[in-house]
Structure 1
Amino acid sequence: MKLAAHTPDPLTVRTVPVPDPGDLPARLPHPQALAWIHHGQGIVAWGEAARITIPAGPDRFTRADHHLRELFAETDIDDPLALPGTGPVAFGSFAFDPASDDSVLIVPRRILGRRDGQAWLTTIGPRHHTADPLALAHPPTPPTHLQWSDGTLTAPAWQQAVAHAVERIRHGRLGKTVLARDLNVQAAEPIDARVLLDRLATRYPGCFTFAVDGLIGATPELLIRRTDDHIDSLVLAGTTPRGATPTDDHTRAQRLYHSPKDREEHAYAADMVRDALTPLCADLRIPDHPEILTLPNVIHLASPVHGTLDRERSVLDVLAALHPTPAVCGTPTGPALDLIRELEAMDRGRYAGPVGWIDARGDGEWGIALRCAELDKADPTRARLFAGCGIVADSDPAAELAEAQAKFRAMQDAFQG
């Protein structure tokens, strides 16, 4: 099957420096937002100059990269800044399951960015297309009269699925799997992505706040960043809810750090990233022991990863080697994915798949779509939230349910304000 691309005549791209725009989500003129924000820096975008829909298959990252290279090769680019994220950029979101057709790359018409004290505006469109002003066409409206309901499985049914997974693991079929839950929300009016983005970026500045084609969230997990030949990643696996006091936080963090169950779960993820990236890198640095990462709602075991690529590879090439990691699938990958399909009883769609951006140089930043919600395209007053937990032989269904509820809280707070 061929990739499907929707684009007008050959594109002209012009990037110009602009004064500091301030709060990036506040400058989005329309609810249909694209975004990638970290500590107030990043890029936001709107409009659609081109869309590439990516069919299912294990080679979907490679095919998407090839098609995007062809598109950018025919583009007239005027980019005097030549920074990561300037010039033409495609925002992307890939389905978790290689059997799903939900993956997409979108090249917007306008991109507003800020990095290391430099701000810019990129205009993308047919020749002679004039730039839109940076003005709010539709002021954002917070969601109201929210009604919450169970997703595919009720809490007791999901706990039973976890118990089944633990039994399979103990009988030696696999070492780890990851089971996700969904939660539905209904608002009185269409949900404005900009409100969610602003709340997430404010409350979770250390996370990567994203929006791509109705998928919105703030992920703590950097799957891969590519800048020239340098790559960075952040492995997260092993989680506990935050405590009520600093002392409680410290106790929980120490318990997490010394937990055999959580250290085993983290080791699966870190070892897989090492195995995936070593063949691509001239050098790779992964710490022997994880560190503690504290977020407003949870505490994670984290391992930062740094490396140098051995030759020219785009960020999508590296994604192809990494996805899916044990942090969102399990290990071995095949049996873990089969068990997810059997026990979750739902289609994850783009939840737990790669989400991020890539520019014409092959640079980009991609995270795992966690702590997120997907807006319903047929009914914009509805959305579906997701949360997942790593399951190993020592997992307790009640504790996993509490962890999932803690992970839901980021998006629930974004809706409720």
Structure 2
Amino acid sequence: MAVELDKKTGKYMFAGKIYKDGKCIKRYRKRGFDSKWEAQKAEVEFRKDFFMLPSDMNFDRLYKAFKEYNKKYVKESTLKSDEYLYNVLSKEMKDIDFLDKRQMQNLINKFDEKYSKAYVSRIYFFLNKLYKFGVTSEYIQSNPMTYVKRDLRLNERKEEMTIWQQYDFDLFIEEVDEQMMKCFYSVLFYMGLRKGEAMALQWKDIDFRKQTIDINKTYRYKEKDPNKWLTPPKTNNSYRTITMPNTLSKMLREWFLECSKWDDFAKDKFVFGYYKPISPQTVQRRFDDAYNKAKEKDDGLPKIRIHDFRHSHASFLINNMAGAGFSDFDIAKRLGDTVETLHNTYAHWFDTKDKSIVDMMNKLL
């Protein structure tokens, strides 16, 4: 919707588009109004002929249009994440005006009191992109989230990231009995793969001659349809081919030779799971079993999450990059992240390295 002065006639005109389910179904323009107010009033009357007028719009209808539009442009995992947040919010939206900035601020304040900073951020950014779509598609006239603030919790101490050193990993892996699971946890620790990336690996992705692993997909383990198990990796940066250390290459080669003895072996079989990727429940259960045994031997062994294998790998690289001659760019490339993401995620480790650099300069200068 737009009202502006017509330079040709010196009078006012209105022009715009009518959208349905994210698609433009009508363009319009009308000239000859003596005042801006008259043009605005006329446009409102004109649009009353269409069911998607802002006055007819509500939160549920806006989301349905948003979902339909996004089917062509985002991954199914993103659609499911949005669907989850919509279900959380739809119950709250029944009792408030979804376009009222004050009521939306009160809603975010309510979430801030109940949920973590990360979870509130997910809700906040989902609402923001939903309303931006509504404005762009002319379902609504303004985005109330423009005026809504969330508590950044600047004084909230960030929980320290838990990682394993080589000693910790050696203690753990000694208690893993199955050959396949030894290989799986070793891939996470020595390569820094995300869990879904490791689950999706097929033998055709491993080049033993070059000692490389090609990461070109991830496993959506919550998807029941086998045809939708494998999807592109998390981001474009996640496509990468990275080199294995000798220890891991030898371990995987031995597992490959074992699998190749099976009658129906083929390169498209999964490295971890064979016919289908190993389940996350199995990954966690085997981890817990081995961790508990290792904990009995050394009570100081910290408990980590599966994703912390990746953090442990990143920590190892960051703390050794100066002496080994590689950079933060090389680390980001190996992890499938951007340098910006790397610095944001591991900022405190980079701060430590920066102090080491200054200490070195102070000694030499």
More strand by share: 1
Instruction: Tell me if TM exceeds 0.5.
Output: no
Larger relative CO (CA 8 A, sep 6+): 1 or 2? 1
More helix by share: 2
- Structure label with greater radius of gyration: 2
TM-score normalised by the chain length of structure 1: 0.26
TM-score normalised by the chain length of structure 2: 0.28
